[in-house]
């Protein structure tokens, strides 16, 4: 287990915040089929999301996503950056749906506004922005906007595409 995962487990309420608010659930590690990288490197499940996808850790510490619909790829070269993206973006899929640029930024801002409209449903009474600030401080995370270009480059990296018995996953986005 990484130091960052240990910190999440050791901080009261943090794992629940990541699961509820940011769809990074440390209890969902059995939803993906057996996958590996092209070089045979194993992938260790560390968290799942509500759609049945799984976040997997590579031996080098990079984080790969394997979606339940057969889409997947590299999210970030570190768990810290992967968590910064999960905390700071409405979703990885939204962040990869359009090319980098103003249209993508507008789309992400609109998705955040939609989430903010549903803030009344939060069981802890935290707004999206308060929850993000709390998670960033607890885990010493950077802001996600500075990681968008790296996310796009990572998702395109074929070397990190999960492979199952059925073949390679499709690119995310």
Question: For residue range 18-60, what is the model confidence (pLDDT) as tens digits?
Answer: 999 999 999 998 767 889 999 999 999 999 999 999 999 999 9
Confidence label for 123 from pLDDT (cuts 50, 70 and 90): low
Q: Which residue's entry shows tokens 């490197």? A: 41
Average pLDDT over residues 80-109: 96
Please give the Cα distance from 109 to 118 (Å, whole number). 15
Confidence label for 120 from pLDDT (cuts 50, 70 and 90): low
pLDDT at 30: 79
Q: Residue 94 above 70 pLDDT?
A: yes
DSSP letters spanning 95-160? HHSS-SSHHHHHHHHHHHHHHHHTGGG-TT---HHHHHHHHHHHHTPPPGGGGHHHHHHHHT-GGG
Question: For residue range 1-18, what is the model confidence (pLDDT) as tens digits?
Answer: 579 999 999 988 999 999
Please give the Cα distance from 121 to 115 (Å, whole number). 10
Q: Tell whether pTM > 0.85.
A: yes
Question: For residue range 128-166, what is the model confidence (pLDDT) as tens digits?
Answer: 999 999 999 999 999 998 899 999 999 999 999 999 999
């Amino acid at each position: 287990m990484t130091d960052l995962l240990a910190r999440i487990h050791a901080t009261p309420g943090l794992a629940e915040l990541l699961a509820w608010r940011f769809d990074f659930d440390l209890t969902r590690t059995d939803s993906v089929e057996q996958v590996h990288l092209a070089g045979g490197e194993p992938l260790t499940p560390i968290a799942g999301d509500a759609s049945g996808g799984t976040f997997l850790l590579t031996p080098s510490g990079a984080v790969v996503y394997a979606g339940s619909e057969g889409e997947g790829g590299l999210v970030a070269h570190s768990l810290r950056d992967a968590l910064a993206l999960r905390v700071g973006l409405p979703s990885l899929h939204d962040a990869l749906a359009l090319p980098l640029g103003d249209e993508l930024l507008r789309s992400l801002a609109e998705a955040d506004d939609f989430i903010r409209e549903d803030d009344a449903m939060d069981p802890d009474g935290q707004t999206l922005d308060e929850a993000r600030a709390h998670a960033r401080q607890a885990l010493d995370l950077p802001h996600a906007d500075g990681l968008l270009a790296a996310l796009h480059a990572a998702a395109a990296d074929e070397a990190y595409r999960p492979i199952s018995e059925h073949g390679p996953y499709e690119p995310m986005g």
